[in-house]
């Protein structure tokens, strides 16, 4: 009788331990990766939202500078660059700054970019929406309206080309800042390409959302043009990154070949 109770107790104990093992295994294998996945996506979203805030601040100060006259356009373009410099300094996620690294990442990086773009748009919409409630709203509307009208009247291929060149400028700003070993060089790389794309009028998909909101321009044509801007920004950045990698690889291979020929001649 005693042995039977002992056996029954051991069976219950072992069964409980088995169920506990199964539950722990389920959590580690099935649940925990999902938690980590959602945690990463949430961090990307928050970081992207902060980037959107910075870009919206840059776009807003640019428009305010234009309201003082065309002579202040260069100042506005320079101040716009402070937004991107802040993003680079803190390592925030900006779509146009991250999309150029597609070739260095796995395909799942594309999902991060989608989340990033959503966060960027939310950040821009947050700042721009609140600014429309302030005393600066009328000035921002007045200055943004002709800018957006010019974009809306532009041809689709022109929008795409301008977006491609903007993607290249952002790539130069971000990667140039990362690669330059000198503090002054980092500042120049993060600033000058931004000033260039603002002065020329290249299309940045995130910054343009701020202009469109200030102008109150909402249409299906605008949606189409934003898709072209998103694609163009990505195309320019990825294309330039691919060409840089090709040049570096060819240069390294050529250098190795020359070194091996020198060693052969010495021998």
3-state secondary structure 9-74: HHHHHHHHHHHHHHHHHHHHHHHHHHHHHHHHHHHHHHHHHHHHHHHHHHHHHHHHHHHCCHHHHH
What one-character DSSP code corresponds to residue 176? H
Is 267 strand, coil or helix?
A: coil
pLDDT value of residue 2: 46
pLDDT value of residue 264: 42
User: CA-CA distance, 216 to 127, in Å (whole number)?
Assistant: 15
pLDDT value of residue 265: 44
Q: DSSP assignment of 126-174, as one string?
A: HHHHHHTTSTTHHHHHHHHHHHHHHHHTS-HHHHHHHHHHHHHHHHHHH
pLDDT digits (tens, 9 = 90+) for 88-119: 889 999 999 999 888 888 887 899 999 999 99
pLDDT value of residue 254: 55
Per-10-residue mean pLDDT for the chain, 267 residues long?
47 51 53 65 94 96 94 93 89 93 83 95 97 96 96 97 96 90 87 93 96 96 97 96 88 56 48
**40-266 belongs to CATH 3.40.720.10:** no
pLDDT value of residue 7: 43
pLDDT value of residue 139: 96
Helix 156-179 to helix 73-90 angle (10° resolution) is 60
Short-list 168, 179, 172, 178, CA closest to 238: 168
pLDDT digits (tens, 9 = 90+) for 144-188: 999 999 999 999 999 999 999 999 999 999 998 888 888 888 888
């Amino acid at each position: 009788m005693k042995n039977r109770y002992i056996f029954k107790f051991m069976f219950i104990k072992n069964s409980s331990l088995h169920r506990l093992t199964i539950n722990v295994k389920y959590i580690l294998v099935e649940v925990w990766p999902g938690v980590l996945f959602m945690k990463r996506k949430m961090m990307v979203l928050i970081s992207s939202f902060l980037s959107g805030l910075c870009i919206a601040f840059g776009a807003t100060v640019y428009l305010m500078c234009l309201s003082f006259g065309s002579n202040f356009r260069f100042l506005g373009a320079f101040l716009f660059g402070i937004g991107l410099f802040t993003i680079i300094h803190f390592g925030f996620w900006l779509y146009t700054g991250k999309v150029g690294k597609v070739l260095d990442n796995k395909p799942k990086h594309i999902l991060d970019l989608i989340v990033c773009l959503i966060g960027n748009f939310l950040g821009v919409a947050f700042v721009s929406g609140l600014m429309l409630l302030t005393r600066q709203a009328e000035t921002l509307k007045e200055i943004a309206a002709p800018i957006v009208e010019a974009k809306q009247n532009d041809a689709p291929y022109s929008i795409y080309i301008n977006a491609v060149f903007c993607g290249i400028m952002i790539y130069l700003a971000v990667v140039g800042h990362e690669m330059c070993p000198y503090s002054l060089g980092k500042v120049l790389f993060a600033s000058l390409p931004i000033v260039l794309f603002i002065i020329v009028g290249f299309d940045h998909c995130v910054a343009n959302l701020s202009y469109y909101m200030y102008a109150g321009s909402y249409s299906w044509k605008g949606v189409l043009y934003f898709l072209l801007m998103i694609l163009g920004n990505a195309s320019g950045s990825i294309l330039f990154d691919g060409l840089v990698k090709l040049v570096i690889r060819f240069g390294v291979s050529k250098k190795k070949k020359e070194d091996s020929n020198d060693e052969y001649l010495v021998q």
